[in-house]
Amino acid sequence: MTRRFMMMLGVPLALAAARLAAETTPEVRIGAKKFAFHPNKVTVKLGRPVVLVLTSEDRIHGLKLPELGLRAEIVPGQETRVSLTPQKAGSFAFFCDVFCGDGHEDMDGTLVVEA
């Protein structure tokens, strides 16, 4: 094949691949386990869609992030997917809102939205 033909074939394919990558919403995985979230600090971009994929290793937990109006139940053995497009920058606290034992009150984290 000529170099010119390879270029003609390769450029549209590269563009299509780049477009596909841009359209795929990034995922952030957060695991819950008595009495912590892993990671407990997550950074996302202002105005960029993201999917939080929440899992639990032991029992039902909750994730509540009041300032962004977000609340989800995290059930062992399944993935809870929460779509989010942050509309304000800053650091926002989230916490477990399903009582899960003696360390429950300390089960929290921070979502950082970068401008």
Report the interface residues with Cu ion, using CB under 5 A: 96, 100, 104, 107
What minimum distance in Å lies between the beta carbon of 75 and Cu ion? 13
Give min distance, CB of 35 to Cu ion, in A.
Answer: 7
> Closer CB to Cu ion, residue 50 or residue 100?
100
Of 35, 39, 76, the residue nearest 58 (C-alpha): 76
The amino acid that residue 16 corresponds to is A
Nearest alpha-carbon partner for 74 in 44, 105, 26, 33: 33
CB nearer to Cu ion: pick between 45 and 59: 59
For Cu ion, give the closer residue by CB, 79 or 106.
106
Run of H or E including 4: helix 3-23
The residue type of 48 is R
Least distance in angstroms from the C-beta of 99 to Cu ion = 6
